[in-house]
């Protein structure tokens, strides 16, 4: 398990051998470079990832190091590219396919949901599909309705898929290397606003386990469960509330499927209040699953207030910067909601 994050900045403390800092994008690039060096089965594919370095420059420089046979630009056909990736995985390769935006992965749902997720089950475990689908996600860049969605809950609904969503550079590298080791298809979502976030990252390869959440801030009064950009926003909100005498615990999910129910249940039993913060639309988002899970668990009897979901607005993401911010939870929204929850009783 990784060390706890700072309660104020969301940065990981420096580990032995990790005195340098990398950005989130650099950590991902390093992970892919190390994987390409270590395993000839690994290759990268996606629109504009080779010469241009990807829509967010995450794969920049890898073409020069590994050549066109390992770092491939693909046509503008998400469905076709996903089919190639699934077929290559079935043939024994370890492909990483980058979608320019998570929104565009919807064009490849046939291959992701009907093929990659189901093949190992349908063939009785005699074959697997070890493919990693990478995609930038979330709002905050002015991408408007078709380039800013947070659809992680769609994929987390599908048995056979694993869904990963790191919140910091350390976990980004470790989770990506873990995803490459996994025999099942992994949806790997990277929030766009995190690409420039810096933090300590060990140079040697390491793995962060898929399916294990992290308690990134200890607290006693309210549990906030979040992932991706909402982790650092929740940590900022927790710091604000600490000045008011409200002690908040923050859990970084890291993985949406499989969900680390044990960590969440243990925290709720301790704090007696639960708030789920996520960027996707509130209705049927990951917070709904977490709330239902707690309602069905032994933690339900410990609750001193109703579970609170703080999700995105029920609208397509607007282009206007003011409206875009209003459509998803910000630090002030999280702090205000958590304060209300701390003062509420059943």
Measured CA to CA, the distance from residue 62 to residue 96 in angstroms comes to: 13
Beta strands across the sheet bearing 162-164: 71-73, 42-46, 94-98, 132-137, 186-191, 162-164, 255-257
Q: Which residue among 47, 78, 98, 279 is the active-site one?
A: 78
β-sheet bridge partners, residue 224: 250, 275
Among all chains, which residue has been given the structure tokens 């690409």?
A: 195
Measured CA to CA, the distance from residue 7 to residue 205 in angstroms comes to: 26
Measured CA to CA, the distance from residue 329 to residue 335 in angstroms comes to: 10
Q: How far is CA 245 from the centre of its chain?
A: 30
Q: Which residue among 147, 170, 190, 249 is the active-site one?
A: 147
Helices (H), the chain: 24-38, 62-66, 78-90, 109, 119-122, 152-156, 169-181, 229-242, 261-271, 286-295, 321-326, 331-342
68 is catalytic: no
From the list 242, 134, 238, 236, the residue with the least C-alpha distance to 192 is 134
What is the token pair recorded at 328? Answer: 């998803």
What b/e readout covers 24-51, taking b as 16+ CB neighbours within 10 angstroms?
bbbbbbbbbebbbeeeebbbbbbbebbe
Q: Determine whether 269 is exposed, middle or buried from the number of CB atoms within 10 Å of its CB (0-12, 13-18, 19+).
A: middle
Among all chains, which residue has been given the structure tokens 């694993």?
A: 162
Q: List the helix and strand counts (H, then E) for the chain.
A: 12, 14
Q: Are 21 and 208 in contact (CB under 8 A)?
A: no
262 is catalytic: no
**Residues designated as active site:** 78, 147
């Amino acid at each position: 398990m990784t060390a706890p994050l700072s309660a104020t900045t969301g940065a990981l403390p420096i580990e032995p051998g990790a005195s340098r800092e990398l950005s989130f994008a650099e950590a991902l690039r390093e992970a892919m470079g190390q994987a390409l060096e270590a395993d000839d089965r690994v290759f990268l594919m996606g629109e504009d990832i080779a010469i241009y370095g990807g829509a967010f420059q995450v794969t920049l420089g890898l073409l020069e190091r590994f050549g066109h046979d390992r770092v491939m630009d693909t046509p503008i056909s998400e469905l076709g590219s996903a089919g190639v990736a699934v077929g290559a995985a079935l043939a024994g390769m370890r492909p990483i396919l980058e979608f320019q935006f998570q929104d565009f992965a919807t064009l490849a749902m046939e291959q992701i949901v009907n093929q990659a997720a189901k093949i190992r089950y349908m063939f009785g475990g005699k074959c697997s599909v070890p493919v990693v689908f990478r995609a930038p996600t979330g709002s905050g860049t002015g991408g408007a309705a078709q380039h800013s969605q947070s659809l992680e809950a769609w994929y987390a609904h599908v048995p056979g898929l694993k869904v990963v969503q790191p919140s910091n550079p350390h976990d980004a590298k470790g989770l990506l290397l873990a995803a490459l080791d996994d025999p099942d298809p992994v949806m790997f979502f990277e929030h766009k606003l995190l690409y420039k976030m810096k933090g300590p990252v060990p140079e040697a390869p390491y793995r962060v386990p898929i399916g294990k959440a992290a308690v990134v801030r200890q607290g006693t009064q309210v549990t906030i469960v979040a992932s991706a950009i909402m982790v650092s926003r929740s940590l900022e909100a927790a710091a604000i509330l600490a000045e008011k005498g409200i002690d908040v615990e923050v859990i970084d999910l890291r993985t949406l499927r499989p969900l680390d129910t044990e960590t969440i249940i243990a925290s709720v039993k301790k704090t007696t209040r639960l708030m789920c913060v996520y960027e996707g639309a509130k209705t049927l988002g990951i917070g709904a699953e977490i709330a239902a899970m707690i309602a069905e668990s032994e933690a339900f009897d410990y609750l001193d207030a109703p579970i609170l979901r703080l999700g995105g607005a029920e609208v397509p993401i607007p282009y206007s910067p003011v409206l875009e911010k209003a459509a998803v939870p910000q630090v002030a929204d999280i702090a205000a909601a958590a304060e209300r929850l701390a003062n509420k009783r059943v």
